[in-house]
Structure 1
Amino acid sequence: MNIERWFLMSFSLICIIALFKLVPREKVRDACVLFLFLQVITWPAGLFAVEMGWIEYPTQLLPQANEYNRTSFSFEFFLFPIVAIIFSLYYPGNLKWKGALVYYIAFAGFFTIFEVLLEKYTSLVKYHEWKWYWTLLTVMISLLLNHRYYLWFRKRLVQV
């Protein structure tokens, strides 16, 4: 097993521990909704970017799955959804639009910097036609859609 797979396993373990530490027991259902809805967004978007040849994930945690789906299972289906859970559960509800923009940029920026570093120093991500600002933009849009869905879900849950 190469160093990249060890990195993916270690980061996945850190994310699992973060979930247990950062998601309150009464918010587990909310976390599940956020996790699953973000996967609805990231799967087709990630698949589209990979199939267009814009981005590639040469090293996979589950390489046998790469035969059918060349997106990154670790990033698209696990790590980014966990970031989205933390984003929405800790979103300060009293922010004005400037504060909200900073919050979005901070989370999306963290994820973008992380991906750019991985692209530069590992074989986990390879940009072809993709640029860092596309990651920033798509992460911000994904977080926005996911958070809006979450707010709608919470509102509908209270009404029932």
Structure 2
Amino acid sequence: MNMERWFLIGFSLICIIAPFKLVPSEKVRDACVLFLFLQVITWPAGLFAVEMGWIDYPTQLLPQANEYNRTSFSFEFFLFPIVAIIFSLYYPNSIKWKGTLVYYFVFAGFFTFMEVLLERYTSLVKYHEWKWYWTLLTVIISLFFNHRYYLWFRKRLVKV
């Protein structure tokens, strides 16, 4: 087993443990909604980017599934949804629009920075036509739609 697979295993364990440590017990339902809704966004977007040949994930945690779905299970179905949960559950509702922009850029920037490092130093991610700023933009858009859905969900939950 190569170092990249060990990295994916360790990263997956962190993603399994993180919600138990970071999600308050009264917000578990919200975390599930955030997790699943972001997957609705990332699955088709990730498939589109991979099928267009813009980005590739040469090393997979589950390589036998790679012939059916060439996106990164670890990144798009695990890490990014966990990031989105933390983003929305700890979203500072009382800040002005400049603070909101900073909040979005901190989360999206961190995620983008980590992907760029992985692309440069590992075989987990390979950019072809893809650029780092596309990751930044798509992460911001995904977080925005996911958070808006969460706010709508919470509003509907209160009315019931």
The letter of the residue matching 1:33 is V
TM-score, normalised relative to structure 2: 0.99
Q: In the alignment, which residue of structure 2 is the partner of 1:47?
A: 47
| Same amino acid, percent of matched pairs | 88
5+ long unaligned stretches in structure 1: none
Greater CA deviation, 122-131 or 5-14?
Answer: 5-14
Cα distance, 1:34 vs structure 2: 0.2
5+ long unaligned stretches in structure 2: none
Q: In the alignment, which residue of structure 1 is the partner of 2:12?
A: 12
The letter of the residue matching 1:141 is I
Alpha-carbon distance in structure 2 between the residues aligned to 1:76 and 1:15: 12
RMSD: 0.5
Tell me if 1:152 matches 2:152. yes
Cα distance, 1:101 vs structure 2: 0.3
The letter of the residue matching 1:144 is F
TM-score, normalised relative to structure 1: 0.99
Alpha-carbon distance in structure 2 between the residues aligned to 1:16 and 1:61: 15
Alpha-carbon distance in structure 2 between the residues aligned to 1:73 and 1:104: 23
Alpha-carbon distance in structure 2 between the residues aligned to 1:15 and 1:73: 12
The letter of the residue matching 1:22 is L
Alpha-carbon distance in structure 1 between the residues aligned to 2:16 and 2:77: 13
Q: How many residues align?
A: 160
Which aligned segments of 4 or more residues in structure 1 are displaced greater than 3 angstroms?
none
Q: In the alignment, which residue of structure 1 is the partner of 2:68?
A: 68
